[in-house]
Amino acid sequence: MNRKNTLKTVFSYLKPYRVYLLCSLFLTLITVALTLMVPILTGKAVDRILGAGAVDFGGVIRILLYIGGAVAITSVCQWLMSLCNNRMTYGMVRDIRRDAFGRLRVLPLKYLDSHPIGDLVSRVITDVDTLADGLLMGFTQLFTGVVTILGTLVIMLVLDYRIALVVVFVTPVSLFVASFIAKRTHSFFSAQATTRGEQTALIDEMIGQQKIVRAFSYESRAKERFEDVNERLRATSLKAIFYSSLVNPCTRFVNSLVYAAVGLVGALSVISGGLTVGLLSGFLSYANQYTKPFNEISGVVTELQNALACAARVFALIEEKGEPEDPVVDRIPEQVDGDVSLHNVCFSYDPAKKLIEDLSLTVTPGQRIAIVGPTGCGKTTVINLLMRFYDPDSGSVRVENVDIRDMSRHSLRKHYGMVLQETWLKSGTVRDNIVMGKPDATDEEVIAAAKASHAHSFIKRLPEGYNTKIGEDGGGLSQGQKQLLCITRVMLCLPPMLILDEATSSIDTRTEHRIQRAFAKMMQGRTSFIVAHRLSTIREADVILVMKDGHVVEQGSHEMLLAKRGFYFELYNSQFAH
């Protein structure tokens, strides 16, 4: 997103908090007005000190009381202004994070598969925090600074237009400095935010995959990759901070020029009788008040550049196109028996690389369909299409002769039971993980399902049985135990269609034989899709689909395919050749 669109989106999030914004602006006007009143009062107090024995103590004390009251009211207004700004900023941050997380829930898997998790986490957490800091500083200081500059200039023009013109002539130097810094910092802060997201993604990957890193002695290579990203982050951060650090010395130099010019011209005016000493002291105070906001605004501009760069990344995520909406009218089949068909399906993850082309398949209720083939041939892709994790580029997938794109995803997926090679578990109790597909299941049903999957015995040995808490992704359990819990989950629901993707790959041989018997019982009368790498596990399948390069090259029973002595025959013998 460019800066204009980013600002437009920021203002759209600001709209619900416009009451706080208006209150903040009103309090800012009061604060600036009272602040600008103090130098005038101070000048009047100075003019009442005429010399030794000629001091108007009553008038000075009265003016000091006015100054004290103005300072007190200013302090209260600043406190209320900070309160409004905080409520406005962190309310916006809450809304942005809510929308970002909500968008993550509906983004297509294609987007999530192509973006590192660490980068997405960096956008939702770090970038939003940076946006909040920039907005908080911006709303507090930017408007205050602008109003202070305009108010001070008006007062100086009323008091003495000649000195005011001196200030006006020096002002363009400050504007040039602010513009110069702003133009150069945005690109650097944008690059800094992007590189920081890349670094977060790398750290997340290396920490999450420590076993793989150490198993393959990847530590040195991981360190090299981190050093490369870290060095690029250092370089971009150094450039961003260098230019932003120019703000203070440059604006202070301009401040000194203005102050010196006012002092010189004002002193000459006092000598000629055009100004009193009190008015000159007030002018010098106004010169400081006039130039100080330029210093603050330049700093605010730098922070806003950083904030906008981070906001652009967050809003790009929020405005990313979600997966296609469910149909308005959900065409739910009256009864789902497991009639599945694919008609001329074409699909590829990358348009430049063809994967599945013109795949047609008809599965009758209760059939066991095994899908085999070499790695990358499209076995898991077929499962993704059946579950509508991805939609085909052309062709259709039908359940009970209804195109699954005419069904809601919930209506479709509740009729499938999946056990994959990769386990799906969440932090919570063992029971919570089993009843995910059937939250209202009784304890008796849960135990019966666990016994059917041969998970009951190991669950009972856990410290608190079914109420034992496990970590994210089943932390604390072995891979085989996690797989048994996933199988138990399907055993509990018993949907009309099953998908088994190497479901017993992490289980010992003895337990596997028991699970295979349990699966055989579970699959009776249910349409089952079995993705297998070990061909010994799918001999009993009704139909075996042999895939190669996205095409079904052979299909038939185990004995029939062996008799053909084709591609399946080669695959089978390659696993059992001595």
Domain boundaries, the chain: 3-209+235-318, 340-576
Is the model's pLDDT at 310 over the cut of 50? Answer: yes
Q: Which residue has the higher pLDDT, 400 or 573?
A: 400
Q: Which pLDDT value is given to residue 76?
A: 94
Q: Which pLDDT value is given to residue 578?
A: 43
Domains 3-209+235-318 and 340-576 share a fold: no
Question: What is the DSSP code (8-state) at residue 55?
Answer: B
Q: Which CA distances in Å does 215 have to 203, 210, 475? A: 18, 8, 19
d(CA 190, CA 308): 8
Is the model's pLDDT at 409 over the cut of 90? Answer: no
List of residues 6+ apart from 455 with CB closer than 8 A: 481, 484, 485, 487, 488
> What mean pLDDT value characterizes the chain?
81
Q: Which pLDDT value is given to residue 73?
A: 92
Mean pLDDT of 45-55: 69
Q: Which residue has the tokens 């977060």?
A: 200
Radius of gyration of the chain (CA): 36
Question: Which range scores top for mean pLDDT: 43-47, 496-500, 507-511, 520-524?
Answer: 496-500
Is the model's pLDDT at 535 over the cut of 60? Answer: yes
Is the model's pLDDT at 490 over the cut of 90? Answer: no
CA 295 distance to own-chain centroid: 33
How long is the chain? 578
Return the minimum-mean-pLDDT range out of 175-189, 373-387, 523-537: 175-189
Question: What is the DSSP code (8-state) at residue 539?
Answer: T
d(CA 78, CA 479): 59
Can you spell out the DSSP letters for 411-452? Answer: HHHTTEEEE-SS----SEEHHHHHGGG-TT--HHHHHHHHHH
Class of domain 340-576: alpha beta
Q: Which CA distances in Å does 547 have to 152, 365, 373, 409, 553? A: 79, 22, 5, 27, 6
Q: Which pLDDT value is given to residue 217?
A: 83
Can you spell out the DSSP letters for 380-393? Answer: HHHHHHHTTSS--S
Topology annotation, domain 3-209+235-318 = ABC transporter transmembrane region fold (1.20.1560)
Torsion of CA 545, 546, 550, 552, to 10 degrees: -60
**Three-state DSSP class for 464?**
coil
Is the model's pLDDT at 179 over the cut of 70? Answer: no
The token duo for 266 is 């004002």
| 207 within 8 A of 116, measured Cβ to Cβ | no
| 385 within 8 A of 347, measured Cβ to Cβ | yes
Can you spell out the DSSP letters for 272-335? Answer: TTSS-HHHHHHHHHHHHHHHHHHHHHHHHHHHHHHHHHHHHHHHHHHTS--SPPPPSS----S-
d(CA 54, CA 347): 96
Is the model's pLDDT at 91 over the cut of 60? Answer: yes
Q: Which pLDDT value is given to residue 149?
A: 82
d(CA 350, CA 333): 33
In tens, the pLDDT along 61-86 reads 888 898 899 889 989 998 998 898 88
- Phi, psi dihedral angles at 449 (to 5 degrees): -65, -40
Mean pLDDT of 121-141: 81
